């Protein structure tokens, strides 16, 4: 028996990174997965991986930060599988690495919409289907940047802090419908995104990228970054019956680094 048997789960940002790993894990744990992303080619690859391993999934191409896109993602899942139990709000672009005086209004709205508005819209359209199903689990993939900040990342830090606040508010609002709402706040996660952020930080500070990368490792008691698998395993637990009484929490995954 898988952790997520008889679940229908939407994973946004499923084309790569954490979203791809999470989609594959959820399918292995028995969920039917709605893999949503803006890139048709990449999200099709995710679905092909799931199906080749014997899992069940569909690809939905849409921009979760737009009202029509978010609605179409949820509608496609309900149409394909007849219900919706689980929503992983993982979509989001980190935006540019810039000092505040150079951080343009367009940079701000792009980053906030990508990370926070997408989570709001997908939750807004998913909740009625969860109420109809009699249960639900929403997990917002936020960041430790939303709890303690990073230099030159004002839009990203603000958007991720907003996701944490949204988690708390929705958990209180939706508990009466048997819907849990939690957030996962990763620290440094190995992958393309942190590589780009480290390079940007290095250029702004005038230091070698490896020095910044090593600083993330050095402040972790476990002396390592987290992986997409670490985040995905926690998400699967939070969406399972084992976590039915866990709601309104923001759980750090930091390889041992204190959360505050």
Same-domain check for residues 172 and 149? yes
Q: What is the mean pLDDT of residues 195-206?
A: 82
CA 84 from chain center: how many Å? 17
Active-site choice (103, 152, 156, 168)? 156
Cβ partners under 8 Å of residue 189, min gap 6: 18, 225, 226, 227, 228, 230, 231
Between 238 and 202, residue with greater pLDDT: 238
Has residue 250 been placed in a domain? no
| Pure H helices in the chain | 17-28, 40-52, 67-81, 105-112, 118-133, 145-148, 154-174, 192-205, 209-218, 228-238
pLDDT band at residue 1 under the 50/70/90 scheme = low
Q: Which tens digits make up the pLDDT trace of 96-135?
A: 999 999 999 999 999 999 999 999 999 999 999 999 999 9
Same-domain check for residues 214 and 130? no
Residue 260 has pLDDT above 80, yes or no: no
Please tell me the total count of domains within the chain: 2
Q: What is the CATH number of the domain that holds 157?
A: 3.40.50.720
Has residue 127 been placed in a domain? yes
Same-domain check for residues 112 and 218? no
Q: What is the mean pLDDT of residues 222-235?
A: 94
Same-domain check for residues 70 and 21? yes
The predicted model scores a pTM of 0.94
Q: Residue 144 in contact with residue 186, Cβ under 8 Å?
A: yes
Has residue 15 been placed in a domain? yes
Same-domain check for residues 148 and 39? yes
Q: Does residue 156 have an active-site annotation?
A: yes
Has residue 70 been placed in a domain? yes
Same-domain check for residues 144 and 205? no
Domain that holds residue 45: 8-187+227-245
Same-domain check for residues 150 and 44? yes
């Amino acid at each position: 028996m898988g952790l997520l048997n008889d679940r229908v789960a939407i994973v946004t940002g499923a084309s790569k990174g954490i979203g791809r790993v999470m989609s594959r894990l959820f399918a292995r744990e028995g969920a039917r997965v709605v893999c949503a992303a803006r890139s048709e080619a990449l999200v099709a690859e995710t679905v092909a991986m799931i199906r080749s391993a014997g899992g069940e999934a569909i690809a939905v191409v849409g921009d979760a930060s737009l009202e029509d896109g978010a609605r179409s993602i949820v509608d496609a899942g309900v149409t394909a599988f007849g219900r919706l139990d689980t929503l992983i709000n993982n979509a989001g672009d980190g935006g540019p690495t810039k000092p505040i005086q150079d951080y343009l209004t367009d940079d701000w709205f792009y980053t906030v919409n990508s990370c926070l508005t997408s989570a709001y819209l997908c939750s807004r359209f998913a909740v009625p289907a969860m109420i109809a199903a009699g249960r639900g689990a929403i997990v917002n993939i936020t960041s430790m940047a939303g709890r303690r900040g990073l230099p030159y990342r004002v839009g990203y830090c603000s958007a991720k802090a907003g996701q944490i606040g949204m988690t708390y508010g929705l958990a209180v609002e939706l508990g009466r419908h048997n819907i849990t709402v939690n957030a996962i706040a990763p620290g440094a996660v190995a992958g393309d995104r942190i590589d780009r952020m480290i390079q940007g930080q290095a250029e702004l500070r005038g230091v070698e990228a490896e020095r910044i990368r090593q600083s993330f490792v050095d402040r972790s008691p476990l002396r390592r970054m987290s992986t997409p698998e670490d985040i995905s395993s926690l998400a699967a637990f939070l969406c399972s019956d084992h976590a039915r009484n866990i709601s309104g929490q923001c759980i750090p995954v930091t390889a041992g680094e204190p959360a505050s």
